[in-house]
Amino acid sequence: MIAKDGFVFYNKSFGNQTYKNDVAISDTSIYDLASLTKVLSTTISIMQLSKANKIDIDQTLGYYLPELDSTNKENILIRDIMAHQARLTPWIPFYLHTLNNGQLSDSLFRTTAEEGYTTKVCDNIFILNTYADSIMTEIKESDLRKKKKYKYSDLGMYYLRRIIEKQSGTNIDSYIQKNIYEPLGLQTIGYLPLERFTKEQIAPTEEDSYFRKMKIQGYVHDQAAAMMGGVEGHAGLFSNSRDIAILSEMLLQGGIYGNDTIIDKEILEDFTRQQFPLNDNRRGCGFDKPLPNHEEGGPTCNLVSSQSFGHSGFTGTYFWVDPEYKIVYVFLSNRTYPNSENFKLIKMDIRTNIQKEIYKLFLSEEEIKKAQKEIL
């Protein structure tokens, strides 16, 4: 879905949910957004709570989470977490610790819900409720990287979710639904989609042969988020393209949609600017940004403006907002099907090649030449 100046001028769907040509993709198909959750749930929630003076992103984790006192996480700044330069370990394969000889541990999992095992991972798999505490303990005890440099990490988002919930007094999924999605009239976006939609409406993400041993459809693909019950700060959100486009348009319009101010304009400008340009870090606060000077290898084509921002997701999702050119671009796919080793989307650079064609429609020859000259 692509919009220019507030008008959707391209909205098409292609292909089927799987290679068996079974269910055709439609404009209402729902996808696992993966890391888009970091922006479209966690970051937007923090932006709203910042406006209400309930979260200060220049405070430390320890200020909001006393349980981190005397740990190596105590003095980490929230802004550094959101710009991915907090020295956190990039990723921990938590699910591997729940397997015995490749099979789910009998002590940690049940096939039906029972006392102490009500956290649903997917169909017929329930994990020990207190295992969430084990994951948080492992994060707390994880080492920090030596240098304070840009390194993308999921781990800080677990803490940000808990800060949001503590400061708002409600669960993150309830908070974002009530304060962002409902005021915007969004119809599909949210956590735990199977509570609202049929499985057939949701694109499957993987034939999981290593953890859950089934087709993952309607349950979050990310293993750790699944073990947290499907709701987490770094993953768990599902949506169709329409709802993401509306959210993007709200961001494009400076936090305003219709007659409602959803996000404070000054806060939005702070979050969407490059946070640490002197530290060789392209990131905004929560948002991804283009590489400066249109260098090769960034998350965008070489024609986007420096004001632009967005994010990409592991499952093959992407959205990008460009305030200078008034362009919104949403791309959803289930590139991880049938498995996560399917890298065709990335190797063929599909998302950014499409983006380049969009910009060539609207930029003048002089603007295109200038951008191409800067990259040489």
Return the residue matching tokens 């590489």. Answer: 291
In this predicted model, which residue has the larger pLDDT, 369 or 122?
A: 122
- pLDDT band, very low/low/confident/very high, at 366 (cuts 50, 70, 90): confident
Q: Give mean pLDDT, residues 87-98.
A: 96
Q: Give mean pLDDT, residues 177-197.
A: 97
List the CATH number of the domain containing 224.
3.40.710.10
Rg (CA), the chain: 20
So what's the pLDDT on residue 89?
A: 97
In this predicted model, which residue has the larger pLDDT, 364 or 333?
A: 333
Q: Residue 197 pLDDT more than 50?
A: yes
Please enumerate, as own/partner, the contacts of 256-263 that have beta carbons within 8 Å and a separation of 24 or more.
257/183, 257/184, 260/183, 262/48, 262/180, 262/183, 262/184, 263/44, 263/47, 263/48, 263/51
287 token code pair: 């948002």
So what's the pLDDT on residue 376?
A: 41
- pLDDT band, very low/low/confident/very high, at 292 (cuts 50, 70, 90): confident
- Tens digit of pLDDT for each residue in 47-90? 999 999 999 999 999 999 999 999 999 999 999 999 999 999 99
Range of the domain at 313: 2-375
So what's the pLDDT on residue 22?
A: 82
Q: Give mean pLDDT, residues 252-257.
A: 96
So what's the pLDDT on residue 372?
A: 67
Across the chain, mean pLDDT equals 96
For 61-94, b where at least 16 C-beta lie within 10 A, e where not — what string?
bbebbeebeeeebeebbbbbbbbbbbbbeeebeb
137 φ/ψ sector (left φ>0, alpha ψ -120 to 50, else beta)? alpha
Q: Please spell the DSSP secondary structure of 98-146, one letter per residue.
A: GEETTEE-TTTEESS-BTTB-EEEETTEEE-TTHHHHHHHHHHTPPBPS
Q: Please spell the DSSP secondary structure of 201-256, one letter per residue.
A: GB---EEESSSS-EEE-SS-SSHHHHHTTS--SSS--EE-HHHHHHHHHHHHTTTE
In this predicted model, which residue has the larger pLDDT, 259 or 254?
A: 254
Closest CA to 15 of 317, 333, 356: 333
Q: Residue 353 pLDDT more than 50?
A: yes
Q: Residue 227 pLDDT more than 70?
A: yes
The pTM of this model reads 0.96
Name every residue whose Cβ is closer than 8 Å to that of residue 153 and which is 6 or more positions away in sequence: 84, 86, 88, 89, 90, 91
Name every residue whose Cβ is closer than 8 Å to that of residue 237 and which is 6 or more positions away in sequence: 32, 33, 36, 37, 40, 41, 189, 190, 191
222 token code pair: 């990310």
Q: Residue 165 pLDDT more than 60?
A: yes
Q: Residue 373 pLDDT more than 90?
A: no
Alpha-carbon distances, residue 320 vs 50, 60, 62, 317 (angstroms): 23, 29, 33, 11
- Tens digit of pLDDT for each residue in 126-164? 999 999 999 999 999 999 999 999 999 999 999 999 999
How many residues belong to the chain?
A: 376
So what's the pLDDT on residue 293?
A: 75
Q: Please spell the DSSP secondary structure of 151-163, one letter per residue.
A: ---SHHHHHHHHH
Q: Give mean pLDDT, residues 92-113.
A: 97
Number of domains within the chain: 1
Q: Give mean pLDDT, residues 223-240.
A: 98
Percent of residues, the chain, with pLDDT higher than 90: 93
Phi, psi torsion values for 184, nearest 5 degrees: -90, -5
353 token code pair: 């090649």
Q: Residue 186 pLDDT more than 70?
A: yes
- pLDDT band, very low/low/confident/very high, at 322 (cuts 50, 70, 90): very high
For residue 88, which amino acid is it? Answer: L
Q: How many beta carbons lie within 10 A of that of residue 18, not counting itself?
A: 16
212 token code pair: 């859950």
